[in-house]
Structure formats: structure tokens, C-alpha cells
Amino acid sequence: QSALTQPASVSGSPGQSITISCTGTSSDVGAYNYVSWYQQHPGKAPKVMIYDVSNRPSGVSNRFSGSKSGNAASLTISGLQAEDEADYYCCSYTRSLNYVFGTGTKVTVL
């Protein structure tokens, strides 16, 4: 199972919006609406920010939103804040009944 493809880095100024892409195949991203996104600060465990493509868990800011089209998903962070600087990983459930993560994207707030 190959990792989903994400850009290595994305940056933006405070208040701006950024979008992180996540490209998979018809066996993972395109197979189900079980795409999730995780935020990870240095030395910390990942935290789920989006699940089922576009749902936010309780307590996650509505500045985070997700979408999917075909074999690609995306995470948008609007109104970028300093605390959003972190690594972000997409994740998809697959037809093999397991999970595959994306390669990870480092978000930098300029």
C-alpha cells in the first residue's frame, strides 16, 4: 500500500487561507468517504481535525474544512493562525480493510 501524496510544505500569512491536497487511488481515497486529517505538533501525538471527508470533531475550530473529489481530498485552513503551524496528515480507509496515511505536509505560518 503506497502512501497518499501530499505536498511537503505549505505556508501562508496569518489570516490567509491555505489548502493541502491529498491524492490517492480508487482503492483508498476514491473507495469510501473515510478520509480523515490529523494535526501533529512537534513531540505530540496526532489529533484528528476532520473525519469522514468533511466532518469536524467537537472542539475543532470551524476554520478547518475538508472535501473530496474522486481520488483526491483536501484540507483547507482559513484565517490561518500561529497555532496552526504543525504537520498535517491525511488518512484513508482502504479496500484492503486497513488504513493508509499521506506523506505529510508541514504548514508554516509566515
Partner 1 sequence: EVQLVESGGGLVKPGESLRLSCADSGFTFSSYSMNWVRQAPGKGLEWVSSISSSSSYIFYADSVQGRFTISRDNAKKSLYLQMNSLRAEDTAVYYCARENHGRLDYWGQGTLVTVSS
Site mask, partner 1, residues 33-52, x = CB under 8 A?
xx-x-x-x----xxxx--xx
Binding window for partner 1 (CB under 8 A); candidates: 9-17, 18-26, 66-74, 99-107: 99-107
Q: Give the bridge partners for 21, in sequence order.
A: 74
Cα separation of 4 and 100, whole Å? 7
Going across the sheet that includes 18-23, the strands are 18-23, 72-77, 64-69
The residue ranges that bind partner 1 (CB under 8 A) are 1, 3, 32-34, 36, 38, 40, 45-48, 51-52, 57, 89, 91, 93, 96-104
